[in-house]
Structure 1
Amino acid sequence: MPRLGIHQDFLQDLIRLERPVQQKVVQTITKFEQTSHTGAHLEKLRDIRDERFKSIRIDHKYRGIVLVPQGGDTFTLLRVDTHDEAYAWVRHRRASVNMVTGCMEIRDDAIIDDTIEGMTRTSSKSVRPIFEHVSDADLIRLGIDEQMLRFTRMLTDVAMLEALDGKLPQIQYDVLLGLAAGMSPEEVWNDVVGTTAAPEKIDPDDLIAATQRMSHKVALVEGPEELMELFAKPFAKWRVYLHPLQREAAYGSYTGTAQVTGGPGTGKTVVALHRARHLARQGGRVLLTTFTATLARSLAESLRLLETDDEVLGRIDVLTVDQVARRLVDEHVGKATLVREEEEKDIWRRIVRRRSLDLSERFLREEWRQVVLAQTITSADGYLQARRTGRGRRLGPLQRAQVWRAIDEFQQELADRNYRTFESTCVEAVRVLAELNARPYDHVIVDEAQDLHPVRWRVLRAAVAEGPNDLFIASDTHQRIYDNRVSLNSIGIRLTGRSTRVRINYRTTEEILNWSCAMLAGEKIDDLDGRPSSLIGCRSEVHGARPDLYGAPTKNAELAHLVEILRGWLAAGVDPEEIGVAARSETMGHSAADALIRAGIDASYLSRDRDGLDGHVRVTTMHRMKGLEFRCVAVIGVSASQLPAANAVTPLDEDATTHANDVQRERCLLFVAATRARERLHVSWHGEPSAFLNLASD
C-alpha cells in the first residue's frame, strides 16, 4: 500500500491556508492515498532540476509538490501553494541525502551556484573567510557536502548566510550558523548533528531510506483514516499536537531532572503536556505546574484536549506553585489571611515612615524577596554576610543592619496578624514537606519555569523525591516577565547532560518571529543555570505577512482602527476566539473590550479570575497573554507613556542594576505578547511610540 510522508513544511502550509482550501487539500491527498499506486494524479513538471519532484492538483488555483523516489511506494508531500508560487519554489530545488545524518535534504541549487559564482568574481584577499578556522575534515564530519563546502570556504559575511535560510540544506545551514556564532565543532556536533546522525551505512541514492530516517521532519501515515486524524484538527487541537522533533524529549527516560528549552512557539508547553500524560499513564502521581492561574487554566484545558481518560487525568494535578503551597500549609499548619500586593506595599511604607529610612518600599520589598527569601536567610548575621548579586545599590554594614531590622519588623507583623504573602506561604510549605513521611508526587513538570522565584523552586524540589524522572522543566529566559532570577544549581537542581533545546517555531511566521526577536537584540540574558542564553538558530519555517504597525494621534483613533483590523480578520474566516488583543495596562484592555463590544464584535476580558467566553475575542493584559496563542493578535497601546510602564521600573538613581533589569523585563513583555500570534500581528500606539518599537524596526 502506498505510504505518504507528510513533510513538516506542509503542515505549516496547511495551517495558513483558508479553510475551504484546507478541505480540498485533505480530499486530494485522501484520493491520492487510495489510487496513487499507478502514479495517477501526479503530473510531470518541466524545466526543473530534479525530475523526482511531481505536482498534484488541489484545485484550479493551488498545487502540491510531491517527491517521488525511484522505486518503492513512499511519497513525500513537501509544499502546497498557488500554482505559480509552487512551481517557482520547485524549479531550482534538488533532493539529496546527507552522508552524516542519512536524512533527505532539499536545497535551491541555482541560488547556491549563483552565490558561489558571484563570490568568486568579487573575492578579495583582504577579506578573511569567516570559517577559515574550521578544517575541511571538521566540516565534512559535520555533514557539509561538496557543493556546500565550496560555498562555505568563500563566505566572508554571516549576513549572506542568514539571507539564504530556507535555500540551503537545513541541517548544513544550522551547522554553519552554529559555527558562525562561535560554537566549536564539538559543540555543533552535540547540539545540532549528533541527535540525527545515522548509525548505519548510508546510500546516497536511497531517498526512501533517507525519508524514513526523518522522524523529526516527516510524519509517515498509512491510509485515509490516519491522514484525516492528522489533519482534521480544529485550531485548539494544534495547541497539543506533538511534532516528531519533540517526541524524544516528551517520552524519554531520564536519570534525574531534565529540561527542554527554546524560543517562543517551539513547542515546550506541548512537550510538557505530553510528558505529564505519559507519566500519568504509567501510574505516576504528576504535578503539572506553572506560575500564574491563567496559565494553569490554559494547561488544564489543553490537557483535556489531549487526554479523555478520567483515570489518567485523575493522576495529574494542574496547579500553580502557590496553590500547591497554600494547600499544604492550610492543611498542616492552619489557614491565614493572604496579603495582596497593595496591602503588602502599605505595610512596607509604614515601616519606612516609622524608621525614617532613606529607602523606598519597593527597594525593601525586593531586598526581602531577592536576597533574604532567595537565600533562606533567617538572622541578622546571615544577612550581613549575604551575597547581593544583581542588587545594584550597595549597602554598608550599618545600612544592612537598618534594612534587616525593617525586614524583621515586616516578618513579625505578618506573624502577629496571621498574615502570609505568597512567598512566605512557600517558605512554610517547604518546612511542611520536610516533615512529611512521603512526597506528594512522583513527578513534577514545570512550564514557563523562567518566572519562578527561588522559594517556589524549593517547594517543587521538596514535593518530589530526587531520582529518575523527578523534575521536568520547560523554560525560555527570553520570556521572563517577572523579576525572578535563579540559579537552579544553588537550589540543588542539577541538569547536566539532560537538556534538550528545540529551535523550530511551530507557531509564529518567520516575519513575526524576526520582528519580535529584534526587540531583544543585544540584550544579555542568562539561562536558569546562569549561563548566557541566545535565540540564535530559533527559526520558523512558515512565512506570512509582515507585522502591521499603526500609530494614531489619540487613544480613540487607535481603538477605532483596532475595530477595523478585527473586522477584517473576522471577515477572512478567523473565529473570534482565535483572536487575542493585548494591552500593557488593564485600563487600556478594558477600553479596547468596550470599543469592540460597542462596534458589535463579541469580546470578553480575560482576567485573573475569569476566562474568555466561547465565541468571543479575548482581550487581556500582556502578562496574561503568557502561554496563550492565537491565529491573530493585536498588541495595543505600545506608546512611550505605557511601555515601559513607569510604575514597573525602578528609578535609575535608586538602583541602576534593578532599573536595567526592569527595562529588560518590559522589553521581554512586548516580545512575549507579539509572539502569541500564529499568522497575523497588528501593533499600534497613540502619541509617541515606545522606544522598543524603534529598536524592533531597525
Structure 2
Amino acid sequence: MTAAPQDSLFPPVPESADAVLHGLDPEQREVALALTGPVCVLAGAGTGKTRALTHRIAYGVRTGRYKPGTVLAVTFTQRAAGEMRGRLRELGAHGVQARTFHSAALRQLQFFWPKVVQAEPPRLVERKIQLVVQAAEACGLRLDRAELREVTGDIEWAKATQTVPDDFAEAAAAAGRTTSREALETARVYAQYEALKRASGRIDFEDVLLLTIAILQDREDIAQQVRSQYRHFTVDEYQDVSPLQQRLLDLWLGERDDVCVVGDASQTIYSFTGATPEHLLGFPARHPGATVVRLVRDYRSTPQIVHLANNLLSHATGPAARQRLELVAQRPPGPVPESTEYADEVAEAEDVAHRIRALVAEGVPAAHIAVLFRTNGQSNLYEQALGDAGVPYRLRGAEAFFDRPEIRSALSAVRAAAHSGANDTALDLDAPLPAQLRRVLVSHRLWTAQPPAGSGAVRERWESLAALVRLAEELARARPGAALTDLAAELADRQANQHAPTVDGVTLASLHAAKGLEWDAVFLVGLAEGMLPITYAQTEEQVEEERRLFYVGITRARSRLHLSWSLSRTPGGWGGRKPSRFLDALRTPGSARPASDAPRLRTGRAPATNGERHTPDRGAGERPVPRRRAPARCRVCGRTLTEAGEMKLMRCETCPSDMDEGVYQRLRDWRGERAQDLGQPDFCLFTDKTLVAIAEAVPETEAELSRIPGVGARKFRRFGSEVLAICAGQECAPGAKAD
C-alpha cells in the first residue's frame, strides 16, 4: 500500500471518520489509531510523518474522542505550523491549535501576564543583534559581523539550555562548544545584554519561554487552567526540542501523559541552538508502556537516493546512530546519483547552472529544483551563475512572501475587488476566477501575462504574482464557481498562517534551511573538506552532526541528485582541496548491506577548461588526479591573487588601474539604458567590476572579450557585439542586437 501525495491543493474533505484513514499505510494507520498517549513515532525522512500526525488528530476529532479546542500541536517553524493547520482543515478538523513553541507560549504569556503582574506585557526585542552590539560596546569589545552572529548564537544557546552568564564558560566547555571570543568575554557580553534588556523593559524570544515557565511553576491555578484547556498534545520534530522547550512541555502536561511525539534522531542538526535528541531517544524509558511506531517506508525518494542515504548513516556513530532508521524505498527506480569534481568554485557554479537550465528545458519546473550548500555565504556564486544562465531563482530565508511589496499591493487590490463585486465595472463576474484575478492585477498595473526578460528583481516580482494566479487556478479546479471573495479569504488565511504559495524559481538554500522541504532535483554543492564537515567541527559529536546535515540534504531529493565539489576556491588557485570524507563512505558499500546491493555514485569530472587535461578513465568510484595549475598573479605587482574580485580584474585592488575612462563611462551609460529596457537592475547585465575589467582590457575580438571573468557564455551571446562596438568607439544603440 502506498501513501500517495495529494493531487490538489484543495482536496475534498473526507465524508466520515473512517474515510480519514483511507490511503494510510499500515504504520501510518497504527499512528492514527493510537489516540491515547504516550505515543512515540520514529519517522524517517519522506515517510509521511506529517500525514500520519494530522490524520491522527483529525480521526480523534471526527470520532468525537478529541474536542478540537483541547488539542495543541506544536512544531518548530511558522511554515510547518501553517501547513499542519491547512491539512487539518482539509480533513475536517477545524479549531485545532497548531503553533510553534514560541507562539503558543507567547499567547499564554500575553493572556496571563496582566493577571500575574497587573501590567501590560513587555515588548519583544525586534532585532537582538543590535542589543548585542550595545552590550559588547559596554564591555569595551568591538565585534565584526561574523563575531556578532556567533556571540548572538551563543547567547541563544545559553538561554535555551538554561545557562546563566556566570555558568556560561563552564557549560560551553562541558558541551564542547567553540566560541568566537574567549568564553569569559562572551559571558560578560551575555550578562550586559540581559542588563540592557531589563533596563529597557523588553524581552526576547527565549524570555517568552522562560517567563511562561516561571508563571506555570509559580502559579498552580494558572497551570491548572492551561491543563484544563489542553488535554491532548502533539510535538513534531521532537529531536529538535531544547531543555527549555521540554520543561515547558512537562508543565503543560502536568501529571498526565497524553502526548504524541514524532521525530528522527538522524535529522538532529540544530544542536547549536540547544536542540538534543536525548528527549526522543529516552522517551520510551521515561514513559514505560508507550506505543512506539517506526515509519520507514520512504515515499519521497527513488531507491538509488534512499540507498545512498542509508549507506551514509551506516557509517555513523553515537547514540543517534544506534537507533537509526533503515529507510525502505517505495518509488520506482530513477537515475543514479552523480558526483562531479571541478577545478574551482566558479566552474562548479557555472556547470551546475547549465545542468539546471537543461533540466528546465526538459520540462522540470524550476520550482522543483534546489541548490543546497553548507553556509549562506556560498549563495552568491550560484545567484550569479543562474542569472547568467537565464534561470529564475529564489533565496530561501529571504523576505517572507506576504511581506513583499507587490504581494501586499495585490492582496489590497483583490480585497477591494471582492468587496466591490458587481459594482466594479472592470470585472466580468461570469469569467472564471483566474481570469478575474488576472484582470484585477493587470488593471492595477501589477502584472502582465507575459514574463519580463531576464531574471532580476522585475522577474522575481512577476513570479511572486504568478504564484497567486496559480493558486487561483487550483482553487477554481477544486471549487467550481469560486469567486474573488473565496480567493480573498484563502489568501487571508494563508497570510495569517504564513503558508505561502509556491513561487517559480530554483531554490537556493543552506542545508539547515532545507530541513522539512523536498524537490525533484537537488544539487548538493561545495562538498569539500573544511566545508562539509565544516572546519570548526572538531569533536566526533560535531563531525557526526555534519554527517546528519549531509543526510538531510540527500533526503531532500525525490528523483535526481547531483553532488559536487571543487579543488580550488578561485580560478587558477592551488587545487589542494579534498572532497568531503563523507563521500568516501558513499563510494564503498556500507556495513549494513552486502556489497552486491550497495549503491555507488556515478563519478565524473567537469569538462576541462583553460588548458586543463583529463587523465584516462580509471573506473567507477575512482577520482582522476587533476593537473595543478599555476596560481593567478597580479599583472601589476605579481602577488598571488586569492579574492574573487581581484581574480576578475587580474590585479590587486590597491594596484593602479590602466582603465580607459572613456570606455568605462560609455559602458556604464549603455548598461543603464539597456537594463531599463529589459526591466532589470544594472548589475544583472554586468557588475561594476566586470565593466572595470572590460575597460582595462578593451578587447578587440570576441575571443578576448569571452575570456574576461564575469562575461560568461550567455552574456557574451546576448551583449557581446554591443560591448565590442563600444570598446571600438562605435555608436551602439541599446537593444540593437536581438535578444
Q: TM-score, normalised by structure 2?
A: 0.51
What corresponds to 2:251 in structure 1? Answer: 462
One-letter identity of the residue aligned with 2:376:
E
SS of corresponding position for 1:438: helix
Shift of 1:666: 2.4
1:503-522 per-position Cα deviation (integer Å, ceiling 9, x unaligned): 22222223212323333344
Note closer, same or farther for the CA distance 1:683–1:241 as it changes in structure 2 (3 Å cut).
Answer: farther
What corresponds to 1:625 in structure 2? Answer: 514
What corresponds to 2:353 in structure 1? Answer: 563
Note closer, same or farther for the CA distance 1:393–1:680 as it changes in structure 2 (3 Å cut).
Answer: closer
| Residue 378 of structure 2 corresponds to residue 592 of structure 1 | no
SS of corresponding position for 1:625: coil
Note closer, same or farther for the CA distance 1:572–1:410 as it changes in structure 2 (3 Å cut).
Answer: same
1:301-335 per-position Cα deviation (integer Å, ceiling 9, x unaligned): 5555x43x4xx33x123322122223333444313
Aligned partners of 1:415 and 1:502: how far apart in 2? 46
Share of identical aligned residues, percent?
24
1:343-365 per-position Cα deviation (integer Å, ceiling 9, x unaligned): 4654675587689xxxx999987
| Residue 471 of structure 2 corresponds to residue 679 of structure 1 | no
Aligned partners of 1:591 and 1:564: how far apart in 2? 13
Aligned partners of 2:302 and 2:59: how far apart in 1? 30
Equivalent residue for 2:310, pick from 501, 517, 520: 517
Alignment of 1:86-485 (within 5 A): 233=7, 242-254=24-36, 256-281=37-62, 282=64, 283-285=67-69, 286-303=71-88, 306-307=90-91, 309=92, 312-313=93-94, 315-333=95-113, 334-338=121-125, 340=127, 342-343=129-130, 346=133, 349=136, 374=161, 376=162, 391-392=175-176, 409-434=192-217, 435=219, 436=222, 437-439=224-226, 440-464=229-253, 466-467=255-256, 470-483=258-271, 484-485=275-276
Shift of 1:682: 1.5
One-letter identity of the residue aligned with 1:326:
L
Shift of 1:686: 2.7
One-letter identity of the residue aligned with 1:584:
R
Consecutive unaligned residues in structure 2, runs of 5 or more: 12-21, 114-120, 402-499, 568-576, 589-739
Aligned partners of 2:5 and 2:556: how far apart in 1? 22
Aligned partners of 1:515 and 1:341: how far apart in 2? 40
What corresponds to 1:578 in structure 2? Answer: 368
Aligned partners of 1:260 and 1:477: how far apart in 2? 11
Shift of 1:451: 1.4
295-304 vs 577-586, greater mean Cα deviation: 295-304
Aligned partners of 1:631 and 1:390: how far apart in 2? 42
Note closer, same or farther for the CA distance 1:377–1:393 as it changes in structure 2 (3 Å cut).
Answer: closer
What corresponds to 1:163 in structure 2? Answer: none
Shift of 1:635: 1.9
Report if aligned partners of 1:625, 1:673 keep a CA contact under 8 Å in 2: yes
Shift of 1:373: 5.3
Consecutive unaligned residues in structure 1, runs of 5 or more: 1-6, 12-229, 653-658
What corresponds to 1:77 in structure 2? Answer: none
Report if aligned partners of 2:238, 2:279 keep a CA contact under 8 Å in 1: no
Report if aligned partners of 2:44, 2:325 keep a CA contact under 8 Å in 1: no
Report if aligned partners of 2:165, 2:190 keep a CA contact under 8 Å in 1: no
Report if aligned partners of 1:512, 1:681 keep a CA contact under 8 Å in 2: yes
Note closer, same or farther for the CA distance 1:421–1:347 as it changes in structure 2 (3 Å cut).
Answer: farther
Report if aligned partners of 1:623, 1:669 keep a CA contact under 8 Å in 2: yes
SS of corresponding position for 2:68: coil
1:193-236 per-position Cα deviation (integer Å, ceiling 9, x unaligned): xxxxxxxxxxxxxxxxxxxxxxxxxxxxxxxxxxxxx7983699
| Residue 575 of structure 2 corresponds to residue 691 of structure 1 | no
Shift of 1:640: 3.3
Aligned partners of 1:635 and 1:365: how far apart in 2? 28
Aligned partners of 1:251 and 1:459: how far apart in 2? 27
Shift of 1:562: 2.0
Aligned partners of 2:106 and 2:9: how far apart in 1? 35
Alignment of 1:492-531 (within 5 A): 494-498=286-290, 499-526=292-319
Aligned partners of 2:372 and 2:501: how far apart in 1? 13
Note closer, same or farther for the CA distance 1:473–1:545 as it changes in structure 2 (3 Å cut).
Answer: same
One-letter identity of the residue aligned with 1:422:
F
Aligned partners of 1:613 and 1:368: how far apart in 2? 34
Note closer, same or farther for the CA distance 1:443–1:569 as it changes in structure 2 (3 Å cut).
Answer: farther
Shift of 1:479: 0.6
Note closer, same or farther for the CA distance 1:632–1:299 as it changes in structure 2 (3 Å cut).
Answer: farther
Note closer, same or farther for the CA distance 1:556–1:662 as it changes in structure 2 (3 Å cut).
Answer: same
1:140-186 per-position Cα deviation (integer Å, ceiling 9, x unaligned): xxxxxxxxxxxxxxxxxxxxxxxxxxxxxxxxxxxxxxxxxxxxxxx
SS of corresponding position for 2:560: strand
Aligned partners of 1:231 and 1:372: how far apart in 2? 39
Shift of 1:675: 0.3
Equivalent residue for 1:546, pick from 333, 336, 347: 336
Aligned partners of 2:284 and 2:163: how far apart in 1? 17
Aligned partners of 2:68 and 2:351: how far apart in 1? 51
Report if aligned partners of 1:337, 1:418 keep a CA contact under 8 Å in 2: no
Bigger strand fraction = 1
Aligned partners of 1:491 and 1:414: how far apart in 2? 36
| Residue 427 of structure 2 corresponds to residue 639 of structure 1 | no
Shift of 1:626: 0.8
Note closer, same or farther for the CA distance 1:580–1:369 as it changes in structure 2 (3 Å cut).
Answer: closer
Q: How many residues align?
A: 440
What corresponds to 2:493 in structure 1? Answer: none
Aligned partners of 1:438 and 1:412: how far apart in 2? 32
What corresponds to 2:548 in structure 1? Answer: 668
Shift of 1:252: 1.3
One-letter identity of the residue aligned with 1:317:
Q
Aligned partners of 2:587 and 2:132: how far apart in 1? 38
SS of corresponding position for 1:458: helix
Shift of 1:387: 8.6
Q: TM-score, normalised by structure 1?
A: 0.54
Report if aligned partners of 1:348, 1:365 keep a CA contact under 8 Å in 2: no
One-letter identity of the residue aligned with 2:504:
G
1:223-265 per-position Cα deviation (integer Å, ceiling 9, x unaligned): xxxxxxx79836998xx963233111123122x3321013222
Report if aligned partners of 2:27, 2:293 keep a CA contact under 8 Å in 1: no
Note closer, same or farther for the CA distance 1:379–1:496 as it changes in structure 2 (3 Å cut).
Answer: farther
Report if aligned partners of 1:604, 1:612 keep a CA contact under 8 Å in 2: no
One-letter identity of the residue aligned with 2:263:
S
Aligned partners of 1:633 and 1:284: how far apart in 2? 38
Note closer, same or farther for the CA distance 1:262–1:373 as it changes in structure 2 (3 Å cut).
Answer: closer
One-letter identity of the residue aligned with 1:539:
V
Shift of 1:410: 4.6
State the Cα RMSD in Å.
Answer: 4.2
Shift of 1:634: 1.9
